[in-house]
């Protein structure tokens, strides 16, 4: 019995240590994961909603479904500027497709996808040792972590709105039972 204990102890001692992840790297990994999951669901909603719903609004004071997708894209392109990552050069946030009114479904979906990819690359580009470092922007102090958390939180909020929009139109998201309209 005693010999078995020594053998087990020796085997454990010989096993390689699992890599230790810094708190910054762990936080960044988790936020990137959540951003990726939000992207999958938001793009699925954008793809699943019929084109005619892109101009529909729950009431006259709210953004239309298509405008909400573009609003999400605008935030994903602009938020990383707070930690120094500029939007793509060909993208101007005013005077282009991100302005409301031009809501062709394929273009909206493309812009939404590109915005999430931009946000994810921007988050991944922050060095782990700089993720929790304080910087000053617009007369406030922040960290990339805080700004990325705000981005992920906002995207989740917008996802919730889009789920509500789809349910109000009778469209059930795939993770809630598959694409079908409640009346069919």
- Classify 180 in phi/psi space as left (phi over 0), alpha (psi -120 to 50) or beta: beta
DSSP 77-138: HHGGGGGT-PPPTT--SSSSTTSTT---HHHHHHHHHHHHHHHHHHHHHS-GGGTT--EEET
CATH of the domain at 160: 1.20.120.450
What pLDDT is recorded for position 154?
Answer: 96
pLDDT at 74 over 60: yes
Total domains in the chain come to: 1
What pLDDT is recorded for position 151?
Answer: 95
Q: Is residue 140 part of a domain?
A: yes
The 10s digit of each residue's pLDDT in 102-158 is 578 998 899 899 999 999 999 999 999 888 888 887 788 988 999 999 999 999 999
What pLDDT is recorded for position 14?
Answer: 57
Q: Is residue 182 part of a domain?
A: no
pLDDT at 160 over 80: yes
Q: Is residue 130 part of a domain?
A: yes
Domain ranges, residue 34: 23-176
Q: Is residue 14 part of a domain?
A: no
What pLDDT is recorded for position 92?
Answer: 56
Average pLDDT over residues 71-81: 91
- Token pair, residue 61, equals 């004071």
pLDDT at 70 over 80: yes
Indicate the range of 4-13, 53-62, 86-95 predicted with least confidence: 4-13
Confidence label for 172 from pLDDT (cuts 50, 70 and 90)? confident
The 10s digit of each residue's pLDDT in 4-48 is 544 444 545 555 565 567 888 999 999 999 999 999 999 999 999
| Closest by CA position to 41, among listed 168, 118, 183, 156 | 156
- Token pair, residue 163, equals 């789920």
Dihedral over Cα of 88, 89, 94, 100: its sign? negative
Contact 85, 128 (CB under 8 A): no
Is the model more confident about 98 or about 164?
164
pLDDT at 69 over 90: yes
Q: Is residue 118 part of a domain?
A: yes
Q: Is residue 124 part of a domain?
A: yes
Q: Is residue 8 part of a domain?
A: no
What pLDDT is recorded for position 166?
Answer: 92
What pLDDT is recorded for position 81?
Answer: 86
Q: Is residue 107 part of a domain?
A: yes
Confidence label for 94 from pLDDT (cuts 50, 70 and 90)? very low
Give the chain's largest Cα–Cα span.
78
């Amino acid at each position: 019995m005693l010999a078995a204990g020594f053998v087990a102890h020796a085997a454990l001692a010989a096993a390689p240590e699992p890599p230790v992840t810094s708190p910054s790297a762990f936080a960044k990994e988790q936020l990137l994961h959540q951003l990726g999951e939000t992207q999958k669901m938001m793009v699925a909603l954008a793809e699943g909603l019929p084109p005619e719903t892109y101009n529909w609004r729950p009431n006259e004071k709210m953004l239309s479904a298509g405008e909400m997708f573009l609003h999400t894209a605008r935030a994903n392109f602009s938020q990383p500027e707070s930690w120094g990552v500029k939007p793509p050069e060909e993208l101007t946030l005013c005077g282009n497709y991100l302005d409301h009114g031009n809501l062709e479904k394929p273009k909206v979906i493309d812009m939404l996808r590109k915005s999430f990819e931009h946000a994810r690359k921007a988050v991944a580009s922050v060095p782990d040792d700089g993720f929790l470092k304080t910087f000053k922007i617009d007369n406030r102090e922040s960290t990339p972590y805080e700004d990325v958390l705000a981005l992920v939180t906002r995207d989740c909020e917008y996802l919730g709105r889009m789920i509500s929009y789809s349910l109000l139109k009778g469209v059930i998201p795939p993770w809630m039972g598959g694409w079908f309209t409640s009346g069919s």
